Amino acid sequence: MTTPAARTPKTPGLMLGAGLSFLLSTAALPAFAQEQPTMTPEAFDAAKQTYFEQCAGCHGVLRKGATGKPLLPELKTKAADGTETVTGTLKLGQDRLERIIAYGTEGGMNNFDGILTPEQIADLATYIQIDPPKPPEMSITQMRQTRKVYVEPKDYPTAPLHGRNWENFFVVIERDVGKVAVIDGDTKEVLVHIPTGYAVHVLKASEHHSLNEPENPGRFWYTMGRDGKMTKIDLWQNPENMLVAEVKIAYDARDVAVSGDGKYVIGGGYWPPHFAIVDAETMEPKKVVSTRGVNVDGEYVEEARVAAIYTTPHEPTWVVAIKELGQIWQVDYTDLDNLRIDKIDNSKYLHDGFFDPTGRYFQIAANASDQMVVIDTKTRKLEATIDTKSKPHPGPGANWLDPNCGPVAGTTHLGTGYVTVWGNDPVGHPDNAWKICYEVETDGPGLFIRTHPDSKYVWADQTLHPEPEIQQSVQVIDKATGEIVKTIQLTETEGYVAVHFEFSQDGKEVWASVWNRKDSKTDNGEIVVFDAETLEEKARIKGLFAPTGKFNVYNRSNHKT
């Protein structure tokens, strides 16, 4: 690849695109070192947007690193003897950075060859050799100004208007087009494509809860886009009216959760690093809390991002994972004016997690520490840490019953082709609790693992393997033996990968996604439906835009994993 021509860095200007849409002030721009390359304003803006969309999640908006390595022009480290070592993107240089971006690494970084153009790769390599610009903050007043209500709460229907089995609906993320599809799980019809925030990362519904359970759990769904837009979906409406409200709580965000009583929704920001609590009915922001602070190493962290947020099934709290701090904040929502937050030290860098079958213990991956962390939400303390293979990534996770270890949970890994399985029943099986039961070697690193209480199998993808045939295949593990019983290639079309699973309401079907990494903005993705017992293909649901995460209404609102 050719080295891009000299370019001039942009001064005040607009961040374009579906992601970070804000003005950069002159004060926020970096003072460029002489040896740093320059870019034209147009190339700088385009590369900044590409970085936000493709890189910021792992490497940070300020490029100080997290799951991924720091991407700063110059990094100085001191050894115990005082010797100083200088590394950084400038030392790696243009050509090597282009190769890394294009072809990825064995440590878990994606390859972008064929996804980004050679010019985009070259410009991105140049951009990360320049000091990162610092984005602005967002106030609660700014949030309130973004709120839009499409259906007033007083006009919500008192019964479903469509007459369908809404508890077997699947709400499906259509990633790069900023939409969510609603699919009837009984008929396999795509009912609607709902405009949401860019690259929705996750959706959450009101849940069955042991404390002040909300009316009709699973009816209302809340999405969180990577552009910080939170949307509210009402599955009782006719499809064309299911989007009922929206609000923007950050410029870059990842997760959302509903309080156990259904009164509040919390959204977590990557930038600004904060969480916002909004009224679940009106979507009006009520409170904002910064997550900047001192990490478990005693260092102040400005970009302390909110990774995962979950509602605790038996406590009036949310668990909020502060990625760079290595802390779980257990946030009590019973009194917003006097907000109680228990800060629980554990490991860096926190990503995503799930509860054990009892709903007491929260199990979350600390990617860069190669650990699963266990939080006791009753005592609000760290219960255990479990050492795993490289970069655990369970997604929504999986719990099941093992004949030897009793209740167990499992995770895939970003950095290696293994599924790690550990015991998670400290009451009934204390000898196996929080200890590795066994490991399954798969064909490659993956993103998601999933099962259902009524299924005898666990499904795992291997989306991050560089070989197309393996990227396109999923593997099925027998719960009784811990062995892979079948490898299924979902597609053979170049550029397509297989990712993510979800079971139907009755557990008799497994849905897996196929999407085109090279062209994710056209309706060429599909969902492959399998018989959960025979493992045979039953149907293909087409006409979808990069379908990734799929969420069955009944399973998610009833904690069926």
> Which are the catalytic amino acids?
55, 58-59, 109, 351, 393
- In contact, 104 and 466? CB cutoff 8 Å: yes
CB under 8 Å to 158, separation ≥6 — which residues?
none
| Residue 113 one-letter amino acid | D
- What is the C-alpha separation between 362 and 314, in angstroms, rounded? 12
CB under 8 Å to 267, separation ≥6 — which residues?
224, 228, 230, 249, 250, 253, 255, 256, 275, 276, 278, 309
Residue 128 structure tokens: 């990360």
- In contact, 221 and 198? CB cutoff 8 Å: no
- What is the C-alpha separation between 95 and 87, in angstroms, rounded? 16
Q: Is 298 exposed, middle or buried (0-12, 13-18, 19+ CB in 10 A)?
A: exposed
Instruction: Count the residues in the chain.
Output: 561
- What is the C-alpha separation between 443 and 356, in angstroms, rounded? 27
Q: What does the DSSP assignment read for 327-363?
A: EEEEEE-S-GGG-EEEEEE--SPEEEEEE-TTSSEEE
Residue 116 structure tokens: 């980004």
Query: Quick one: which of 208, 256, 273, 219 has its CA closest to 61?
Result: 273
Residue 221 structure tokens: 């769904």
User: Cα torsion at 516, 517, 521, 523 (round to 10°)?
Assistant: 10
- What is the C-alpha separation between 170 and 101, in angstroms, rounded? 34
